[in-house]
Every structure is written in structure tokens, then in C-alpha cells.
Amino acid sequence: MAANQHPYLVLLLLIVVAVTFAIGPLAAAWAWARFFSPNKPGKDKNSTYECGLESKGDAWIQFRSEYYLYAIIFLVFDVETIFLLPFAVSFTQLSVGAFAAMIVFLLLLVEGLAWAWRKGFLTWK
């Protein structure tokens, strides 16, 4: 048997099937377009925006620098949670170095919170 003599033959077969499966539909679509359905690109069809309106202006605009406070609040109340959960789970097994690193990270974020508080960002206006 060929499969007994060459144990990797199955793998080769699998690769051939996988490549055919990937390329086959693309080739069929290409052949279909080539023989029956011609490609008709155009200005509207190739445009990026697709809600019917034309895009205008430049994407390279200036943002208000005050928005950095939103970024800080997002880090403090959202991103920090992702790190706090594994920190809490493995709290007892942590080395002193890891604990100190985490505390430094937390203090940095607390500093951000204090800054936002000081700026009056947490008061409802």
C-alpha cells in the first residue's frame, strides 16, 4: 500500500484538496467573468463610501486635544479592569517583582484619575 510506505501521502493529499478548495471558486469566478459577465468598474462603484452621499473633505483633520481626557477615563475604568481580573485571580502566587510592577501600573492610572478629577471631568454639568 502506498499509504503504508509513505505516511505523509495523506498530508500531501490534504494540501492538494485544501488548495483546490481555496483556488477553485476563485478560478470559477474568474472564468465566469471572463466568458460571460464582463467587469464594469466605475466612479461610483469604486468609491469607498457607500451610503449614497459623496464623501467630501479630507480625513486628515485636527481633533481637539481635550479629548485626551476621554482616553484617560477609558484607560482607568475599562482597560484597567482587564488587567485587574487576572491580577486578583493570581494574587497569592505573585512574586514581589510582579506585585510591584502591577502597583506601579495601578498608581499611574490612579494618577490619571486624580488628574481628571482635578480637572472637574467627573462632575456632572
Partner 1 sequence: MIDEVLKSDLQKQGIHVLCLETAYNWGRANSVWPLTFGLACCAIEMMAASMARFDLARFGAEVFRPSPRQADLMIVAGTVTKKMAPLVVRLYNQMPEPKYLIAMGACAISGGPFKPGYNVLKGIDRFLPVDVSIPGCPPRPEALIHAIMRLQEKILAQKLTGPDRPRHLNAAVPGEFPVPVYGASDLEPPNNPEVWHPPLIKR
Phi/psi of residue 10, nearest 5 degrees: -60, -40
**Given candidates 1, 53, 61, 82, which one binds partner 1 under the rule CB under 8 A?**
53
User: 62: number of CA atoms within 13 Å, CB side?
Assistant: 3
CB crowding 55-91: b at 16 or more within 10 Å, else e: eeeeeeeeeeeeeeeeebeeebeeebeeeeeebeeee
Provide the minimum distance between the beta carbon of 42 and partner 1 in the complex, in angstroms, as a whole number: 4
Q: What x-and-dash track marks residues 58-97 binding partner 1 by CB under 8 A?
A: ----------------------------------------
Distance CA 97, CA 86 (A): 16
- Binding residue (CB under 8 A) for partner 1 from 50, 58, 66, 78: 50
Q: Which stretch binds partner 1 (CB under 8 A): 50-58, 74-82, 103-111, 114-122?
A: 50-58
Interaction between residue 57 and partner 1 (CB under 8 A) = no
Give the interface with partner 1 as residue ranges (CB under 8 A): 36-38, 40-45, 47, 50-54
